[in-house]
Amino acid sequence: MLKWLLFASILLLSGASAIAQEEIRVVVLPFEVHASERLDYLKGQIRDLVEKQLRDEGVVVIDAGEPLERLPSTEKGDLKLLRTLGLRVGADFVIWGSFTRIGKRFSLDVKVMESYGDAPPGPVYVEGEGLETLLDSVQRLTRDLGMKVFRREKVAEIIITGNKRIESEAIKRVMKTKKGDIYLAKHLRDDLKSIYKMGYFGDVRVEVSSTPQGKVVTFRVAENETIRNIGIEGNKEFDDEKIKDVISVRSGSILNINKVQGDLSQIENLYKEKGYHYIKVTYETKPVSENRADLDFIITEGEKVYIKAICFEGNKAYDSETLKDFMKTQEKGFFSWLTSSGDLDHEVLDLDVSRIAGHYHNHGYIQAKVAEPKLTYEGKWIHINIKIDEGPRFKVGEVDIEGALIQPKSELLKKIKITEENVYNREIVREDVLTLQDIYSDAGYAYADILPRIDRDPKKLTANVTYLINKGPLVYFEKIIITGNTQTRDKVIRRELEVYEQELFSGRRLKRGVRNLYRLEFFEDIKVNTTKGSADDKMILKIGVTEKPTGAFSFGAGYSSMENLFGMVSISQRNLFGRAQILNVRAQLGGRSTSYTLSFTEPWLFDIPLSAGFDLYDTTRDYDTYDKDSLGGTLRFGYPVFDYTRASLSYNYDRADIKNIDTDEAAKSIQKMEGENVGHTITAILRRDSRDRIFNPTEGSNNSIMVKHAGTPMGGDIGFTKYVADSGWYIPLFWGTVGFLHGRIGYIGDGLQDDPDDYKMPDWERFYLGGMSSVRGYDWRDISPRDRENNKIGGNKMVQFNVEFIFPLVKDAGLMGVLFYDAGNAYDNREDIDLGELRRSAGYGFRWYSPMGPIRLEYGYILDDKQDQKGDHSWEFSMGMAF
């Protein structure tokens, strides 16, 4: 580093001598002012402007050193006295003049005279209109002074030599000196520094020559070497590749000192994040040939330091341990190797200070101040000291709303929360502002301005909160412009937006519309921009979308405890013809089932949010005691009824062939169904699904009620009525963990049949529990009532409960852990639901949203002692989607 500083000093000194030229020294006198109105203040102001512009041009301006009233009259033009004044103060030139204004136009008449000799004054004259143009006129005036009086020359040409890889234009862009400008020596000094600061040159020199056309300025540069290899020395904590990841210089590039200096800081920051706060990094270059060199970073890691203690001063309302709970920065503990406690990250520490201050402000301490932490280093330990000035605690005083109210004040006050607080809470006030803005936004006041005014009473220690409202004009959507959609039709996007042209603005509906567009899964990105329309009450809404592929050919394989090994192939298009129609052709072959399915869905039948679709299928399934071949189809309809809530109705025709019955194990009810069975089934479902995502949700719920009926009046061989209610709730807990509560209850009976004896109750519709999705630890369909021969017959009623604690293991990779408790049972016609007789299990598992799709591995341990199964356990494993 020392050699570069010495080199820079020599460079600047040599540059200064290369461009040195004789200084021009002037004295400027106050201007006379001639105008119909009083503008005497311009006398000194014009002189100050002229002086400033001359200084910018490199001229030395000298103070006259006399009170204004004792200076010779510039109006009379006593030239002898003016020359005497100039000589006395050491000025080469004396400048004086007058400002004359007639109407809006004005003129500046200036005279310039040499302090020595007897040459007459030289006149310079400019005109302007409006005092707002005075500065521009003074700039033109000083430019003319430089060209006409001081005999300044223009820059005729700029030449760059010595550069081989850095283009001349890149160098000229950092220079002040431009071709055609007035030649100024001070600009050349600045240009030398700017070129050197580019970091690519080891030497920069400038030469100036005169020609009849003006000055020719030549910059001679010597480029730094090209980097051949980059070496790292002294590193133990990080390998070479990790360090090279954070530096910007690369092999084959020109050595840039600025980048190298920046890389030194990047390497130091990398180490400091790991607690090496005594880190020192230097560099050296080793020439290997002409214009080529190796660059080595030399690292002295020093001893790793840890946080020994975090101390607070001035805290009375909260003890130190409570304040530490708000901090991610922690003192070194026994498990620091696992938790990274004791590591210092300055950014995290700054956020900790903000969190502590926020806690105070949210608990009545409006005036609380938290100082910047003071760090003390002692060997391998860091002591952190944080000073706090709590101030008094303010309670909530009077709460009011003022301004343009669109609802009765009493109604608006009911919707804000600060009235429910005992002490002042800044975060609640912010939430109230957002609440009021949403209310006004939904009413069409897109530009409503809500400002909280806090009036403190230091005697009563109360804070009166007043929300000041300026509602602005009602705003209408003048136009909705959609761009970026090359496949998806405009109407598909517009119908999801829930806002329309010429209608009032609504922030709530616009947010919901954008959310709807994301849920389509047609777009990688959606940008929303609003601009002012043709009037103050008009707004133009611009929706820019970036489409992604919506068609897919996928194939895959997987394994589950229920299916064993299976394979799948699928061709699908979720945005058929750009109309958001869904077409899917799918085949799946597994160890226990084979299925072929063709599905089509129209989400907006008749241009209303009525979905309609059909499914055609051919499936073969191997149950424990029989095989079932099904051929049929389903006709579906669905309609949104509330937020996140959809009602659906479907009709299914199914022809099932029951064969390969195990007469020793199968129940008599199954044996009676041997052969072909025709079913006509209607299913009605009301579902509310507010989960944030399908796999590994973190919040929301999924609730449904289903009624399924076959038989009268549709006919067929199958007859039953089935009722199932299902409710699952995801509850965010702490540290990214989630609680899951799930309950399910079902009943199936003859219901609504004219003569139940005319219909068969299908075994596959009855209730069986056990396996991955019900009571883990039991085998699939293992929980079931049994007949007198001890054969499983399925239940006509069931109940199931699941409790899960889901926690992240590797959050970024989507790997989660789960602890669970399951309970449930199925009952036959002769039994009532008895919660004391529930089959119970507990266990743990892992879930990973892998590139192949969701993978679940879960271990269940049976807790009850029914049928001597207590202590039995099993693993449940499933994986596989398209890959």
As a whole number, mean pLDDT of residues 495-499 equals: 89
pLDDT value, residue 68: 44
Cα separation, 445 vs 440, in Å, equals 5
Instruction: Assess whether pLDDT exceeds 50 at residue 19.
Output: no
Phi and psi at residue 149, in whole multiples of 5°?
-95, -50
The interaxial angle of helices 426-442 and 507-520, nearest 10 deg, is 90
Q: How far apart are alpha carbons 843 and 871 in whole angstroms?
A: 12
Classify residue 834 as exposed, middle or buried by CB count within 10 Å of its CB (0-12, 13-18, 19+).
exposed
pLDDT band at residue 752, thresholds of 50, 70 and 90?
low
In this predicted structure, the answer to whether residue 15 has a pLDDT above a threshold of 50 is no
Averaged pLDDT, 599-610: 92
AA identity, residue 121: P
The overall pTM is greater than 0.75: no
Highest-pLDDT range among 82-91, 147-156, 766-775? 766-775
Per-residue pLDDT at 151 exceeds 90: no
Residue 409 reports pLDDT greater than 80: yes
Give tens-digit pLDDT for 564-601: 666 777 788 889 998 999 999 988 887 778 889 999 99
Element of type H or E holding 432: helix 426-442
Reply yes or no on whether the pLDDT at 20 is more than 50: no
Do the beta carbons of residue 738 and residue 692 sit within 8 Å? no
* 155-159, 299-303, 353-357, 547-551: range with lowest mean pLDDT: 547-551
Write the DSSP symbol of residue 760. B
Weakest-pLDDT range from 4-8, 59-63, 348-352, 845-849: 4-8
Looking at residue 413, its pLDDT comes to 93
d(C-alpha 665, C-alpha 791), whole Å: 6
Give the tokens for residue 108: 């500046």
β-strands 611-622, 374-378 pairing = unpaired
- Condensed to tens digits (0 to 9), the pLDDT of residues 426-476 reads 999 999 999 999 999 989 999 899 999 999 999 999 999 999 999 999 999
Neighbour count for residue 845 (Cβ, 10 Å): 21
**Per-residue pLDDT reduced to its tens digit, 634-692:** 999 999 998 789 999 999 999 999 888 887 777 777 788 888 999 999 999 999 998 87
Which pLDDT value is given to residue 5?
38
Strand (E) positions, 224-342?
226-233, 280-289, 292-300, 306-313
Question: Which residue would you say has higher pLDDT here, 202 or 579?
Answer: 579
pLDDT of residue 4: 41
Highest average pLDDT, of 695-704, 747-756, 783-792, comes from: 695-704
Give the model's confidence band at 14: pLDDT under 50 very low, under 70 low, under 90 confident, else very high: very low
Least confident of 195-199, 359-363, 425-429, 601-605: 195-199
Beta strands (DSSP E) in 162-213 are 201-211
CA 332 to CA 341: how far, in whole Å? Answer: 5
Say whether pLDDT at 17 is over 60. no
pLDDT band (50, 70, 90) for residue 10: very low
Inform me whether the pLDDT recorded for 812 exceeds 90. Answer: no
What would the mean pLDDT of 189-194 be, rounded to a whole number?
Answer: 87
Residue-wise pLDDT for 501-557, tens only, equals 999 999 888 988 888 888 788 888 899 998 888 888 899 999 999 988 887 766 655
